Structure 1
Protein backbone atom coordinates (compact mmCIF):
# COMPACT_ATOMS: atom_id res chain seq x y z
CA UNK A 1 0.00 0.00 0.00
CA UNK A 2 1.24 3.45 -0.84
CA UNK A 3 2.31 5.71 2.02
CA UNK A 4 0.20 8.40 0.39
CA UNK A 5 -3.05 6.44 0.99
CA UNK A 6 -2.25 5.22 4.51
CA UNK A 7 -3.21 8.47 6.39
CA UNK A 8 -6.60 8.60 4.66
CA UNK A 9 -7.42 5.05 5.71
CA UNK A 10 -6.43 5.70 9.32
CA UNK A 11 -8.40 8.94 9.64
CA UNK A 12 -11.17 8.70 12.25
CA UNK A 13 -14.75 9.05 11.06
CA UNK A 14 -16.59 12.19 12.06
CA UNK A 15 -19.24 11.47 14.68
CA UNK A 16 -20.69 14.98 14.66
CA UNK A 17 -22.83 16.61 12.03
CA UNK A 18 -20.69 18.59 9.63
CA UNK A 19 -23.26 21.32 8.90
CA UNK A 20 -23.89 22.39 12.50
CA UNK A 21 -22.19 22.41 15.88
CA UNK A 22 -25.45 22.27 17.86
CA UNK A 23 -27.06 19.05 19.01
CA UNK A 24 -29.60 17.52 16.66
CA UNK A 25 -33.29 17.71 17.61
CA UNK A 26 -36.63 16.89 16.11
CA UNK A 27 -38.46 19.22 13.78
CA UNK A 28 -42.16 19.15 12.92
CA UNK A 29 -43.11 21.25 9.90
CA UNK A 30 -46.31 21.39 7.92
CA UNK A 31 -47.14 22.75 4.47
CA UNK A 32 -50.75 23.57 3.61
CA UNK A 33 -52.24 24.68 0.31
CA UNK A 34 -55.85 25.73 0.68
CA UNK A 35 -58.39 28.54 0.91
CA UNK A 36 -58.76 31.05 3.74
CA UNK A 37 -61.95 30.31 5.66
CA UNK A 38 -62.31 33.98 6.61
CA UNK A 39 -60.31 37.21 6.83
CA UNK A 40 -57.43 36.80 9.36
CA UNK A 41 -58.31 38.20 12.79
CA UNK A 42 -55.99 40.02 15.21
CA UNK A 43 -56.30 38.88 18.84
CA UNK A 44 -54.37 39.49 22.05
CA UNK A 45 -52.92 36.68 24.15
CA UNK A 46 -53.28 36.58 27.95
CA UNK A 47 -49.86 38.29 28.16
CA UNK A 48 -50.94 41.08 25.79
CA UNK A 49 -48.95 39.86 22.78
CA UNK A 50 -50.80 40.25 19.48
CA UNK A 51 -51.42 37.18 17.35
CA UNK A 52 -53.05 36.98 13.93
CA UNK A 53 -55.28 33.91 13.64
CA UNK A 54 -56.85 32.37 10.56
CA UNK A 55 -58.15 29.05 9.26
CA UNK A 56 -57.25 27.29 6.01
CA UNK A 57 -59.47 24.68 4.32
CA UNK A 58 -57.62 22.07 2.27
CA UNK A 59 -59.37 19.47 0.09
CA UNK A 60 -58.12 15.98 -0.71
CA UNK A 61 -59.41 12.84 -2.35
CA UNK A 62 -61.17 12.09 -5.62
CA UNK A 63 -63.61 14.65 -7.07
CA UNK A 64 -66.65 12.53 -6.25
CA UNK A 65 -65.59 12.08 -2.61
CA UNK A 66 -63.72 15.24 -1.52
CA UNK A 67 -62.69 15.50 2.11
CA UNK A 68 -62.02 18.93 3.66
CA UNK A 69 -59.48 19.37 6.44
CA UNK A 70 -59.52 22.58 8.47
CA UNK A 71 -56.30 23.98 9.90
CA UNK A 72 -56.10 26.83 12.42
CA UNK A 73 -52.94 28.88 12.02
CA UNK A 74 -51.38 31.55 14.26
CA UNK A 75 -49.00 34.25 13.04
CA UNK A 76 -46.85 36.39 15.34
CA UNK A 77 -45.99 38.83 12.54
CA UNK A 78 -44.82 42.18 13.94
CA UNK A 79 -46.88 45.33 13.18
CA UNK A 80 -46.07 46.67 9.75
CA UNK A 81 -46.80 46.18 6.06
CA UNK A 82 -46.55 42.36 6.11
CA UNK A 83 -49.11 42.04 8.92
CA UNK A 84 -51.37 44.65 7.28
CA UNK A 85 -51.20 42.67 4.02
CA UNK A 86 -52.06 39.42 5.81
CA UNK A 87 -55.01 41.09 7.57
CA UNK A 88 -56.33 42.38 4.24
CA UNK A 89 -56.53 38.94 2.58
CA UNK A 90 -60.16 38.15 1.74
CA UNK A 91 -62.00 34.94 2.49
CA UNK A 92 -61.42 32.38 -0.26
CA UNK A 93 -57.84 33.42 -1.08
CA UNK A 94 -55.77 30.41 -2.16
CA UNK A 95 -52.68 30.35 0.08
CA UNK A 96 -49.51 28.31 0.56
CA UNK A 97 -48.65 28.19 4.28
CA UNK A 98 -45.50 26.78 5.89
CA UNK A 99 -45.50 26.40 9.64
CA UNK A 100 -44.15 24.72 12.74
CA UNK A 101 -46.51 22.02 14.01
CA UNK A 102 -46.98 20.71 17.55
CA UNK A 103 -49.59 18.62 19.33
CA UNK A 104 -51.19 20.03 22.49
CA UNK A 105 -53.27 18.10 25.01
CA UNK A 106 -55.80 19.68 27.35
CA UNK A 107 -58.84 18.88 29.49
CA UNK A 108 -62.20 19.93 28.06
CA UNK A 109 -65.16 21.20 30.13
CA UNK A 110 -66.30 17.61 30.74
CA UNK A 111 -62.86 16.55 32.01
CA UNK A 112 -61.97 14.53 28.91
CA UNK A 113 -58.42 14.70 27.58
CA UNK A 114 -58.35 16.24 24.12
CA UNK A 115 -55.59 16.88 21.59
CA UNK A 116 -55.22 19.66 19.05
CA UNK A 117 -52.73 20.55 16.36
CA UNK A 118 -51.03 23.91 16.83
CA UNK A 119 -49.56 25.57 13.73
CA UNK A 120 -47.34 28.64 13.95
CA UNK A 121 -46.86 30.32 10.57
CA UNK A 122 -43.31 30.60 9.25
CA UNK A 123 -44.24 31.78 5.75
CA UNK A 124 -47.34 32.48 3.68
CA UNK A 125 -47.69 33.02 -0.06
CA UNK A 126 -50.89 34.08 -1.80
CA UNK A 127 -51.39 31.91 -4.87
CA UNK A 128 -54.72 33.38 -6.01
CA UNK A 129 -57.24 35.90 -4.76
CA UNK A 130 -60.94 35.15 -5.13
CA UNK A 131 -62.69 36.68 -8.12
CA UNK A 132 -64.93 39.62 -7.29
CA UNK A 133 -67.62 38.62 -9.77
CA UNK A 134 -67.92 42.11 -11.27
CA UNK A 135 -67.28 42.87 -14.92
CA UNK A 136 -64.62 45.47 -15.71
CA UNK A 137 -66.05 48.87 -16.70
CA UNK A 138 -65.15 50.58 -19.97
Structure 2
Protein backbone atom coordinates (compact mmCIF):
# COMPACT_ATOMS: atom_id res chain seq x y z
CA UNK A 1 0.00 0.00 0.00
CA UNK A 2 1.35 3.45 -0.88
CA UNK A 3 2.10 6.08 1.76
CA UNK A 4 -0.60 8.28 0.21
CA UNK A 5 -3.28 5.57 0.51
CA UNK A 6 -2.27 4.72 4.07
CA UNK A 7 -2.46 8.40 5.03
CA UNK A 8 -6.08 8.45 3.77
CA UNK A 9 -7.16 5.42 5.76
CA UNK A 10 -7.89 7.36 9.02
CA UNK A 11 -9.90 9.88 6.98
CA UNK A 12 -11.87 7.14 5.24
CA UNK A 13 -12.51 5.40 8.56
CA UNK A 14 -13.71 8.68 10.08
CA UNK A 15 -15.99 9.30 7.09
CA UNK A 16 -17.63 5.87 7.43
CA UNK A 17 -18.08 6.45 11.17
CA UNK A 18 -19.71 9.82 10.48
CA UNK A 19 -22.88 8.06 9.43
CA UNK A 20 -23.11 6.58 12.92
CA UNK A 21 -22.30 9.85 14.65
CA UNK A 22 -23.87 12.55 12.51
CA UNK A 23 -22.67 15.46 14.67
CA UNK A 24 -19.03 14.37 14.94
CA UNK A 25 -18.02 17.06 12.43
CA UNK A 26 -19.85 19.97 14.05
CA UNK A 27 -18.45 22.52 16.45
CA UNK A 28 -21.92 23.55 17.64
CA UNK A 29 -23.73 21.96 20.54
CA UNK A 30 -25.63 18.73 19.98
CA UNK A 31 -28.99 20.20 21.02
CA UNK A 32 -31.61 20.78 18.36
CA UNK A 33 -31.47 24.12 16.57
CA UNK A 34 -34.06 25.61 14.24
CA UNK A 35 -32.28 27.57 11.52
CA UNK A 36 -34.07 30.28 9.55
CA UNK A 37 -32.96 32.03 6.36
CA UNK A 38 -34.56 35.36 5.48
CA UNK A 39 -34.10 37.40 2.32
CA UNK A 40 -35.79 40.77 2.54
CA UNK A 41 -35.46 44.50 3.00
CA UNK A 42 -34.46 46.30 6.17
CA UNK A 43 -37.70 47.85 7.45
CA UNK A 44 -36.13 50.63 9.55
CA UNK A 45 -32.79 51.82 10.91
CA UNK A 46 -31.33 49.16 13.29
CA UNK A 47 -31.44 50.06 17.00
CA UNK A 48 -28.81 49.44 19.65
CA UNK A 49 -30.32 48.29 22.97
CA UNK A 50 -29.02 46.91 26.25
CA UNK A 51 -30.23 43.60 27.66
CA UNK A 52 -31.18 43.19 31.33
CA UNK A 53 -27.64 41.87 31.94
CA UNK A 54 -26.12 45.00 30.35
CA UNK A 55 -24.98 43.30 27.14
CA UNK A 56 -25.59 45.30 23.95
CA UNK A 57 -27.75 43.91 21.16
CA UNK A 58 -28.58 45.34 17.73
CA UNK A 59 -32.25 44.84 16.86
CA UNK A 60 -33.69 45.24 13.40
CA UNK A 61 -36.70 44.15 11.33
CA UNK A 62 -36.60 42.49 7.91
CA UNK A 63 -39.64 42.62 5.60
CA UNK A 64 -39.97 39.65 3.26
CA UNK A 65 -42.59 39.55 0.48
CA UNK A 66 -44.19 36.40 -0.89
CA UNK A 67 -47.01 35.38 -3.19
CA UNK A 68 -48.12 36.55 -6.63
CA UNK A 69 -47.96 40.30 -7.27
CA UNK A 70 -51.76 40.62 -7.20
CA UNK A 71 -51.93 39.07 -3.69
CA UNK A 72 -48.47 39.92 -2.35
CA UNK A 73 -48.11 39.53 1.41
CA UNK A 74 -45.38 40.80 3.70
CA UNK A 75 -43.92 38.98 6.69
CA UNK A 76 -42.02 40.99 9.30
CA UNK A 77 -39.12 39.29 11.10
CA UNK A 78 -37.55 40.87 14.18
CA UNK A 79 -33.88 39.94 14.42
CA UNK A 80 -31.42 40.33 17.31
CA UNK A 81 -27.68 40.49 16.66
CA UNK A 82 -25.22 40.03 19.54
CA UNK A 83 -22.21 41.53 17.77
CA UNK A 84 -19.41 43.83 18.87
CA UNK A 85 -16.99 46.35 17.44
CA UNK A 86 -16.91 46.80 13.68
CA UNK A 87 -19.77 44.34 13.10
CA UNK A 88 -22.06 46.31 15.44
CA UNK A 89 -21.12 49.59 13.71
CA UNK A 90 -21.67 48.03 10.26
CA UNK A 91 -25.18 46.75 11.09
CA UNK A 92 -26.15 49.95 12.92
CA UNK A 93 -25.17 51.97 9.84
CA UNK A 94 -27.36 50.06 7.36
CA UNK A 95 -30.08 52.13 5.69
CA UNK A 96 -33.75 51.33 5.54
CA UNK A 97 -34.51 49.45 2.31
CA UNK A 98 -31.20 47.56 2.20
CA UNK A 99 -31.71 44.06 0.74
CA UNK A 100 -30.37 41.50 3.24
CA UNK A 101 -29.70 37.78 3.46
CA UNK A 102 -29.94 36.78 7.13
CA UNK A 103 -29.28 33.37 8.65
CA UNK A 104 -30.35 32.91 12.25
CA UNK A 105 -31.41 30.58 15.03
CA UNK A 106 -35.17 30.61 15.53
CA UNK A 107 -37.19 29.90 18.65
CA UNK A 108 -40.75 30.48 19.82
CA UNK A 109 -41.25 32.32 23.12
CA UNK A 110 -44.60 31.86 24.88
CA UNK A 111 -46.08 33.81 27.77
CA UNK A 112 -49.36 34.99 29.30
CA UNK A 113 -50.27 38.65 29.03
CA UNK A 114 -51.88 40.76 31.81
CA UNK A 115 -55.37 39.58 30.77
CA UNK A 116 -54.34 35.91 30.99
CA UNK A 117 -54.26 35.36 27.20
CA UNK A 118 -51.52 33.13 25.82
CA UNK A 119 -49.13 34.97 23.54
CA UNK A 120 -46.22 33.79 21.42
CA UNK A 121 -43.45 35.40 19.41
CA UNK A 122 -40.80 34.21 17.01
CA UNK A 123 -37.27 35.08 18.14
CA UNK A 124 -34.50 35.17 15.54
CA UNK A 125 -30.88 35.52 16.66
CA UNK A 126 -28.57 36.40 13.79
CA UNK A 127 -25.78 33.95 12.91
CA UNK A 128 -24.72 35.67 9.70
CA UNK A 129 -25.72 38.67 7.62
CA UNK A 130 -24.95 39.55 4.02
CA UNK A 131 -25.88 42.78 2.25
CA UNK A 132 -27.23 41.88 -1.19
CA UNK A 133 -28.08 45.38 -2.41
CA UNK A 134 -28.04 48.83 -0.92
CA UNK A 135 -30.95 51.19 -1.60
CA UNK A 136 -30.49 53.73 -4.37
CA UNK A 137 -29.51 57.10 -2.95
CA UNK A 138 -29.13 59.80 -5.64
CA UNK A 139 -27.31 62.08 -3.16
CA UNK A 140 -24.44 59.56 -2.92
CA UNK A 141 -23.96 59.15 -6.70
CA UNK A 142 -21.07 61.06 -8.22
CA UNK A 143 -21.86 63.74 -10.80
Name the TM tier (shorter chain).
0.7 to 0.9
TM-score (norm 2): 0.78
Residues 13-32 of structure 1 mapped to structure 2, 5 A cutoff: 16-17=20-21, 20=24, 24-32=30-38
Cα distance in 1 between the residues matched to 2:142 and 2:31: 57
User: Computing the radius of gyration over CA atoms, which structure comes out larger, 1 or 2?
Assistant: 1
In the TM superposition, what is the alpha-carbon distance from 1:27 to its structure 2 partner? 2.0
Q: Which residue of 1 aligns with 2:82?
A: 76
Query: Which residue of the other structure, out of 66, 75, 91, is the alignment partner of 1:60?
Result: 66
Q: Which residue of 2 aligns with 1:121?
A: 126
In the TM superposition, what is the alpha-carbon distance from 1:134 to its structure 2 partner? 4.1
Query: Which residue of the other structure, out of 50, 68, 76, is the alignment partner of 2:56?
Result: 50
Gaps of 5+ in 2: 1-16
Gaps of 5+ in 1: 1-13
TM-score (norm 1): 0.81
Cα distance in 1 between the residues matched to 2:75 and 2:114: 24
DSSP 3-state at the match of 1:84: helix
Over 3 Å counting, the alpha-carbon distance change for 1:111 and 1:33 in structure 2 is: same
RMSD: 2.4
Q: Which residue of 2 aligns with 1:130?
A: 135
Aligned residues: 125
